[in-house]
Amino acid sequence: MKIAVFTIKGGVGKTALVLLLGLAFATEFKKKVLLVDTDLQADLSYRILGDSLSIYSIFSEEYYGIGRFSSLPNLRARPINIMDNLDLIPMEHDAFINVDQQTIMRKLSALPEGYDIILIDTPPSFDRVSAEELLRNVDAYFSIVAPAKPSIRILNAELRLILPMLLDKIKNTPYFIGIIKNNIYSTNSREMSSAISMLNDICDTLKAVPHHTPCVFTNEIARRQAILNYDSFAFLIKTKNTMSISRSLSNTKALSVAQEFLYRLQKYMVSKEEEAENLKY
Protein backbone atom coordinates (compact mmCIF):
# COMPACT_ATOMS: atom_id res chain seq x y z
CA MET A 1 0.00 0.00 0.00
CA LYS A 2 1.37 3.40 -1.03
CA ILE A 3 0.92 6.00 1.71
CA ALA A 4 1.99 9.65 1.50
CA VAL A 5 2.22 12.42 4.04
CA PHE A 6 0.20 15.38 2.77
CA THR A 7 0.60 18.89 4.12
CA ILE A 8 1.70 22.16 2.57
CA LYS A 9 3.00 23.46 5.91
CA GLY A 10 6.73 23.07 6.39
CA GLY A 11 8.47 22.78 9.73
CA VAL A 12 5.95 20.48 11.40
CA GLY A 13 8.31 17.48 11.62
CA LYS A 14 6.99 15.71 8.54
CA THR A 15 10.24 14.06 7.46
CA ALA A 16 11.15 13.06 11.02
CA LEU A 17 7.74 11.45 11.46
CA VAL A 18 7.98 9.52 8.17
CA LEU A 19 11.35 8.19 9.27
CA LEU A 20 10.13 7.23 12.75
CA LEU A 21 7.03 5.49 11.38
CA GLY A 22 9.07 3.63 8.76
CA LEU A 23 11.51 2.40 11.39
CA ALA A 24 8.67 1.38 13.72
CA PHE A 25 6.81 -0.52 11.00
CA ALA A 26 9.98 -2.34 9.93
CA THR A 27 11.72 -3.07 13.23
CA GLU A 28 8.88 -3.44 15.73
CA PHE A 29 5.97 -4.65 13.59
CA LYS A 30 8.03 -6.61 11.04
CA LYS A 31 6.41 -5.03 8.01
CA LYS A 32 8.35 -4.89 4.75
CA VAL A 33 8.72 -1.14 4.24
CA LEU A 34 9.94 1.05 1.41
CA LEU A 35 10.67 4.71 2.12
CA VAL A 36 10.51 7.07 -0.87
CA ASP A 37 11.94 10.58 -0.76
CA THR A 38 10.11 12.88 -3.22
CA ASP A 39 11.42 16.14 -1.77
CA LEU A 40 14.08 17.75 -3.99
CA GLN A 41 15.82 18.92 -0.81
CA ALA A 42 16.58 15.22 -0.12
CA ASP A 43 15.98 15.73 3.60
CA LEU A 44 14.81 12.18 4.35
CA SER A 45 17.67 10.72 2.31
CA TYR A 46 20.22 12.74 4.24
CA ARG A 47 18.75 11.73 7.59
CA ILE A 48 19.22 8.09 6.64
CA LEU A 49 22.39 8.14 4.56
CA GLY A 50 24.25 11.07 6.07
CA ASP A 51 27.22 12.29 4.03
CA SER A 52 27.17 9.13 1.91
CA LEU A 53 24.18 10.64 0.07
CA SER A 54 26.76 12.45 -2.06
CA ILE A 55 27.50 9.26 -4.03
CA TYR A 56 23.93 9.13 -5.40
CA SER A 57 23.60 11.34 -8.48
CA ILE A 58 21.05 11.70 -11.26
CA PHE A 59 23.99 11.28 -13.65
CA SER A 60 25.11 7.96 -12.18
CA GLU A 61 24.84 4.89 -14.40
CA GLU A 62 25.08 2.51 -11.45
CA TYR A 63 22.10 3.52 -9.38
CA TYR A 64 18.69 4.93 -10.13
CA GLY A 65 17.19 7.08 -7.40
CA ILE A 66 13.83 8.79 -7.56
CA GLY A 67 15.22 11.73 -9.54
CA ARG A 68 16.81 9.65 -12.31
CA PHE A 69 13.89 7.21 -12.21
CA SER A 70 11.49 10.12 -12.78
CA SER A 71 13.47 11.83 -15.54
CA LEU A 72 14.07 8.76 -17.75
CA PRO A 73 10.91 6.93 -18.88
CA ASN A 74 12.15 3.35 -19.21
CA LEU A 75 14.14 2.99 -15.99
CA ARG A 76 13.13 1.18 -12.85
CA ALA A 77 13.94 2.55 -9.44
CA ARG A 78 16.43 0.43 -7.53
CA PRO A 79 15.78 0.53 -3.77
CA ILE A 80 18.77 0.26 -1.48
CA ASN A 81 18.55 -1.85 1.65
CA ILE A 82 18.93 0.10 4.88
CA MET A 83 18.30 -2.64 7.44
CA ASP A 84 16.06 -5.67 7.87
CA ASN A 85 12.62 -5.01 6.33
CA LEU A 86 13.54 -1.43 5.40
CA ASP A 87 14.53 -0.15 1.95
CA LEU A 88 14.93 3.38 0.60
CA ILE A 89 14.62 5.08 -2.76
CA PRO A 90 16.55 8.26 -2.06
CA MET A 91 16.36 11.63 -3.70
CA GLU A 92 19.74 12.25 -5.30
CA HIS A 93 21.60 15.24 -3.89
CA ASP A 94 21.69 16.91 -7.32
CA ALA A 95 18.20 15.99 -8.58
CA PHE A 96 17.00 19.58 -8.36
CA ILE A 97 19.15 20.39 -11.41
CA ASN A 98 16.77 18.97 -14.01
CA VAL A 99 13.83 17.16 -12.34
CA ASP A 100 10.48 18.82 -11.66
CA GLN A 101 8.09 17.93 -8.84
CA GLN A 102 5.14 17.10 -11.08
CA THR A 103 7.11 14.43 -12.97
CA ILE A 104 8.21 12.84 -9.70
CA MET A 105 4.62 12.59 -8.46
CA ARG A 106 3.46 10.99 -11.71
CA LYS A 107 6.10 8.27 -11.49
CA LEU A 108 4.80 7.15 -8.09
CA SER A 109 2.44 4.90 -10.02
CA ALA A 110 5.43 2.80 -11.11
CA LEU A 111 7.13 2.16 -7.77
CA PRO A 112 8.41 -1.36 -7.03
CA GLU A 113 5.94 -3.92 -5.69
CA GLY A 114 6.32 -6.52 -2.96
CA TYR A 115 6.19 -4.20 0.06
CA ASP A 116 3.61 -4.15 2.85
CA ILE A 117 3.92 -0.37 3.14
CA ILE A 118 5.45 2.20 0.82
CA LEU A 119 5.82 5.38 2.85
CA ILE A 120 6.31 8.55 0.81
CA ASP A 121 7.88 11.72 2.18
CA THR A 122 6.79 14.85 0.33
CA PRO A 123 8.07 18.40 -0.08
CA PRO A 124 6.99 21.16 2.31
CA SER A 125 4.86 22.83 -0.36
CA PHE A 126 2.93 21.76 -3.46
CA ASP A 127 1.72 23.37 -6.62
CA ARG A 128 -1.82 22.25 -7.38
CA VAL A 129 -0.89 19.89 -10.21
CA SER A 130 1.78 18.12 -8.14
CA ALA A 131 -0.64 17.71 -5.23
CA GLU A 132 -3.28 16.25 -7.53
CA GLU A 133 -0.76 13.82 -9.07
CA LEU A 134 0.35 12.71 -5.62
CA LEU A 135 -3.19 11.91 -4.47
CA ARG A 136 -3.96 10.21 -7.77
CA ASN A 137 -1.05 7.78 -7.36
CA VAL A 138 -1.32 6.71 -3.70
CA ASP A 139 -3.70 4.42 -1.85
CA ALA A 140 -3.81 6.47 1.35
CA TYR A 141 -2.46 9.63 2.90
CA PHE A 142 -2.19 11.31 6.28
CA SER A 143 -1.43 14.75 7.63
CA ILE A 144 0.44 16.25 10.57
CA VAL A 145 -0.43 19.07 12.92
CA ALA A 146 1.81 20.79 15.45
CA PRO A 147 0.28 22.57 18.46
CA ALA A 148 0.78 26.02 16.95
CA LYS A 149 -1.72 28.40 15.36
CA PRO A 150 -0.10 28.56 11.88
CA SER A 151 -0.08 24.75 11.61
CA ILE A 152 -3.71 24.44 12.69
CA ARG A 153 -4.85 27.31 10.47
CA ILE A 154 -3.17 25.92 7.34
CA LEU A 155 -4.40 22.37 7.97
CA ASN A 156 -7.90 23.79 8.41
CA ALA A 157 -7.62 25.40 4.97
CA GLU A 158 -6.25 22.17 3.46
CA LEU A 159 -9.19 20.14 4.73
CA ARG A 160 -11.90 22.68 3.90
CA LEU A 161 -10.65 24.05 0.59
CA ILE A 162 -7.68 22.31 -1.01
CA LEU A 163 -8.41 18.58 -0.57
CA PRO A 164 -12.05 18.67 -1.79
CA MET A 165 -10.98 20.63 -4.88
CA LEU A 166 -8.19 18.16 -5.70
CA LEU A 167 -10.08 14.96 -4.91
CA ASP A 168 -13.03 16.05 -7.04
CA LYS A 169 -10.84 15.28 -10.08
CA ILE A 170 -9.70 11.85 -8.91
CA LYS A 171 -11.67 8.71 -9.73
CA ASN A 172 -10.38 6.42 -6.97
CA THR A 173 -10.29 8.58 -3.86
CA PRO A 174 -7.43 7.57 -1.52
CA TYR A 175 -8.13 6.82 2.12
CA PHE A 176 -7.45 9.63 4.59
CA ILE A 177 -5.82 7.86 7.54
CA GLY A 178 -6.01 10.93 9.74
CA ILE A 179 -4.05 13.69 11.43
CA ILE A 180 -1.08 12.89 13.66
CA LYS A 181 -0.29 15.35 16.45
CA ASN A 182 3.40 16.16 16.49
CA ASN A 183 4.83 17.81 19.61
CA ILE A 184 8.48 17.45 18.65
CA TYR A 185 9.00 21.07 17.73
CA SER A 186 6.59 22.94 19.97
CA THR A 187 4.95 23.01 23.35
CA ASN A 188 1.36 22.10 24.07
CA SER A 189 -1.38 24.05 25.82
CA ARG A 190 -5.04 23.62 26.66
CA GLU A 191 -6.01 26.21 24.05
CA MET A 192 -4.03 24.47 21.31
CA SER A 193 -5.37 21.04 22.30
CA SER A 194 -8.91 22.36 21.97
CA ALA A 195 -8.14 23.84 18.55
CA ILE A 196 -6.61 20.57 17.36
CA SER A 197 -9.60 18.55 18.57
CA MET A 198 -11.86 20.81 16.49
CA LEU A 199 -10.16 19.41 13.38
CA ASN A 200 -12.27 16.29 13.91
CA ASP A 201 -15.37 18.36 13.15
CA ILE A 202 -13.76 19.60 9.94
CA CYS A 203 -12.93 16.02 8.94
CA ASP A 204 -16.58 15.10 9.28
CA THR A 205 -17.36 17.52 6.44
CA LEU A 206 -15.29 15.37 4.06
CA LYS A 207 -18.32 13.30 3.10
CA ALA A 208 -16.87 11.98 -0.15
CA VAL A 209 -13.52 11.07 1.42
CA PRO A 210 -13.12 7.73 3.24
CA HIS A 211 -11.59 8.56 6.61
CA HIS A 212 -11.24 7.30 10.17
CA THR A 213 -13.33 8.71 13.01
CA PRO A 214 -12.05 10.49 15.01
CA CYS A 215 -9.72 11.94 12.41
CA VAL A 216 -7.09 13.23 14.85
CA PHE A 217 -4.92 10.44 16.30
CA THR A 218 -5.38 9.60 19.97
CA ASN A 219 -1.63 9.01 20.32
CA GLU A 220 0.92 11.70 19.56
CA ILE A 221 4.64 12.13 18.96
CA ALA A 222 6.33 13.52 22.08
CA ARG A 223 8.83 16.34 22.32
CA ARG A 224 12.28 14.77 22.02
CA GLN A 225 14.41 17.00 19.82
CA ALA A 226 17.64 15.10 20.54
CA ILE A 227 16.65 12.19 18.30
CA LEU A 228 16.47 14.51 15.29
CA ASN A 229 20.23 15.05 15.18
CA TYR A 230 20.89 14.13 11.55
CA ASP A 231 24.36 12.65 11.90
CA SER A 232 23.77 10.65 15.06
CA PHE A 233 20.51 9.17 13.80
CA ALA A 234 22.06 8.30 10.43
CA PHE A 235 24.86 6.57 12.36
CA LEU A 236 22.34 4.46 14.33
CA ILE A 237 20.75 3.35 11.09
CA LYS A 238 24.06 2.73 9.30
CA THR A 239 25.34 0.59 12.18
CA LYS A 240 21.93 -1.12 12.48
CA ASN A 241 21.84 -0.29 16.19
CA THR A 242 18.33 -1.63 16.67
CA MET A 243 18.48 -1.32 20.45
CA SER A 244 19.10 2.45 20.35
CA ILE A 245 16.59 2.88 17.53
CA SER A 246 13.97 1.02 19.56
CA ARG A 247 14.73 3.27 22.54
CA SER A 248 14.23 6.37 20.39
CA LEU A 249 10.95 5.02 19.06
CA SER A 250 9.73 4.41 22.59
CA ASN A 251 10.92 7.78 23.89
CA THR A 252 9.06 9.67 21.18
CA LYS A 253 5.94 7.49 21.51
CA ALA A 254 6.36 6.66 17.81
CA LEU A 255 5.53 3.03 18.60
CA SER A 256 2.07 3.86 19.90
CA VAL A 257 1.43 6.17 16.93
CA ALA A 258 2.57 3.44 14.52
CA GLN A 259 0.31 0.92 16.23
CA GLU A 260 -2.70 3.20 15.89
CA PHE A 261 -1.72 3.90 12.29
CA LEU A 262 -1.71 0.17 11.46
CA TYR A 263 -5.01 -0.33 13.28
CA ARG A 264 -6.63 2.34 11.12
CA LEU A 265 -5.20 0.78 7.97
CA GLN A 266 -6.41 -2.67 8.97
CA LYS A 267 -9.89 -1.38 9.72
CA TYR A 268 -10.03 0.28 6.31
CA MET A 269 -8.84 -2.86 4.52
CA VAL A 270 -11.50 -4.94 6.27
CA SER A 271 -14.19 -2.47 5.23
CA LYS A 272 -12.96 -2.60 1.63
CA GLU A 273 -13.09 -6.39 1.64
CA GLU A 274 -16.63 -6.33 3.05
CA GLU A 275 -17.63 -3.80 0.41
CA ALA A 276 -16.23 -6.02 -2.34
CA GLU A 277 -18.12 -9.02 -0.96
CA ASN A 278 -21.38 -7.09 -0.88
CA LEU A 279 -20.94 -6.06 -4.51
CA LYS A 280 -20.91 -9.73 -5.49
CA TYR A 281 -24.47 -10.16 -4.29
10-residue averages of pLDDT along the chain (281 residues): 91 89 95 96 91 88 81 82 95 87 89 95 88 93 89 88 85 91 70 83 83 91 63 84 88 92 93 74 57
Distance from chain centroid for Cα 133? 15
> Is the Cβ–Cβ distance between 237 and 33 less than 8 Å?
no
Is 116 a member of any domain? yes
Indicate the SS3 state at residue 181.
strand
> Is the Cβ–Cβ distance between 137 and 106 less than 8 Å?
yes
Is-above-0.85 flag for pTM?
yes
Is 142 a member of any domain? yes
Distance from chain centroid for Cα 230? 18
What is the domain count for the chain?
Answer: 1
> Is the Cβ–Cβ distance between 59 and 95 less than 8 Å?
no
**Looking at the chain, which runs of residues are DSSP E strands?**
2-5, 33-37, 80-83, 86-89, 117-121, 140-145, 175-182, 216-221
Residues 6+ apart with CB under 8 A from 202: 156, 159, 160, 215
Is 53 a member of any domain? yes
Q: Return the pLDDT at 170.
A: 85
Is 79 a member of any domain? yes
Q: Return the pLDDT at 117.
A: 97
Q: Return the pLDDT at 83.
A: 93
Residue 19 CA to residue 119 CA, distance in Å, equals 9
> Is the Cβ–Cβ distance between 191 and 185 less than 8 Å?
no
Q: Return the pLDDT at 233.
A: 77
Is 277 a member of any domain? no
The amino acid at residue 87 is D
Indicate the SS3 state at residue 252.
coil
Is 279 a member of any domain? no
Residue 145 CA to residue 12 CA, distance in Å, equals 7
Is 135 a member of any domain? yes
Print the domain residue range for 213: 2-272
Pairing of strands 140-145, 175-182: parallel
> What is the domain-level CATH number for residue 99?
3.40.50.300
Is 278 a member of any domain? no
